[in-house]
Amino acid sequence: MPKTRSIYVCNQCGAESPQHFGKCPVCGSWNSLVEQTIAPIEPTTRPSARSRSSRQHKSATATQPRLALTFEQIQEHPQARIPSGFDELDRVLGGGIVPGSLVLVGGDPGIGKSTLLLQAANQLAQAAPVLYVCAEESGQQVKLRSQRLEMGQETKPGSIAKNLYLLPETDLETILMEIESLRPQVAVIDSIQALFYGALTSAPGSVAQVRECTSALMQVAKRENISLFIVGHVTKEGAIAGPKVLEHLVDTVLYFEGDRFASHRLLRSVKNRFGATHELGVFEMVDRGLEEVRNPSELFLGNREEKVPGVATIVACEGTRPLVVELQSLVSPTSYSSPRRSTTGIEYNRLLQILAVLEKRVGIPLSKLDAYVASSGGLNVAEPAADLGIAIAVAASFRDRIVDPELVLIGEVGLGGQVRPVSQLELRLKEAAKLGFKRALIPKGQKLPNVGLEVTEVGRVVDAIATALTSGPA
């Protein structure tokens, strides 16, 4: 008879190990391995393949119905997306909520995940029933929060939709029965780490519980065509807690980001089966909750009238959205044996690469200078199109020169000192022209769109620096 066996699963990365370790051998997390019992699989009696003749096998195969279909045989069932009441949320989702989809929303504690989903649930409940499962709060606590947020902005302040139902419950089976009974258009699970399935012996929030609860919710969502929003906690490294299989099960993964010292919040898509990935939505946290930022480029632009050395402007693209961002740089003599490099919103290794190019190809001695680079508003800019702006901001700070505040810089910097082409150039230039910029430095060889800007093509970083630094000392 088969026997039960135990495996140890990491709470952080989901790696499995046949024995217990104090440190996960995959991700290196300490005390993260949890024991999980695997039930034996009863053997089934199967006839031997050799006992069947070739004629019998062909006969059985001929009578078995074929399940595979061609694309022409699959019938189309077009479904309209559901507007959430927030244009920024709809943008990140790819145009609205897809019926029957599973959306995972992660973020730091207190960043505003529950606030966003509660406001969106109230807007959705104006037209159809919505279920909000508050597994971490009581119904009275959620109602108190709704009164503070003054929900119901399109009707009157403080009003709550009558079709918004609250369920303060952590038992998975009870939640599933309520979903199948109510049949809401949208359901919110806040949060998945608080749910538990009674058939499992592990504690809520463990790998087994999170995986089984998400799988059960996915089956109900697909079968009943109900859109589900699931709130997930994040680890200290910023990843969604639980195994990676949690992100593989859902259709869309959204990260809610923001600085606790700033009022703006960024909703970023990292996975979307029904839309573009790396799409960005911008919100602002105010007294009555979250409000949309209609023109986020103005949020990440500094005071253009105040001319300061070491400041340059770029146009970054997050998904299909162009964002005009101000970059700030400071280069100063170091007091230590090795210079310090620091970044805010810019990838650290990318800065090191650009500094090396400036020293080798342009001749700027940065090996004995501290270098600090930051993006305005703390926006994370990871794409290579920001390289030219970083390089010119550092060069301007070193030479104590001012970059024309009406100039935008677009281009990737190669290791040979060349300025390489970037994607979505026309979209970037149109956004810059809309905000009143007059000039643009772009890579040589790209198609020049007619957007009302004075465009200058450059092929090397040294030429771009000479063109951009036209003003005198500050």
171 known member of a binding site: no
Mention every residue, 6+ apart, whose C-beta is less than 8 A from residue 177. Answer: none
Q: How far apart are CA 169 and CA 194, in angstroms?
A: 9
Contact 301, 292 (CB under 8 A): no
* 3-state SS string for 137-179: CCHHHHHHHHHHHCCCCCCCCCCCCCCEEEECCCEHHHHHHHH
109 known member of a binding site: yes
Mention every residue, 6+ apart, whose C-beta is less than 8 A from residue 360. Answer: 417
| Side-chain half-sphere CA neighbours of 28 within 13 A | 1
107 known member of a binding site: yes
- Burial of residue 32 (CB within 10 Å: 0-12, 13-18, 19+) is buried
- Burial of residue 440 (CB within 10 Å: 0-12, 13-18, 19+) is buried
Q: How far apart are CA 68 and CA 257, in angstroms?
A: 43
Q: How far apart are CA 408 and CA 203, in angstroms?
A: 54
Q: How far apart are CA 397 and CA 403, in angstroms?
A: 10
DSSP string over 361-395: II----TTEEEEEEEGGG--B-SGGGHHHHHHHHH
Contact 295, 339 (CB under 8 A): no
110 known member of a binding site: yes
Q: How far apart are CA 19 and CA 17, in angstroms?
A: 5
47 known member of a binding site: no
Cα angle 450, 451, 454; round to 5: 90
DSSP string over 274-331: TS-TT-EEEEEEETTEEEE-S-HHHHT---TTS--TTEEEEEEEETTEEEEEEEEEEE
Residue among 446, 461, 460, 326 at smallest CA distance from 381 = 326
113 known member of a binding site: yes
Binding residues: 107-114
Binding residues for ATP: 107-114
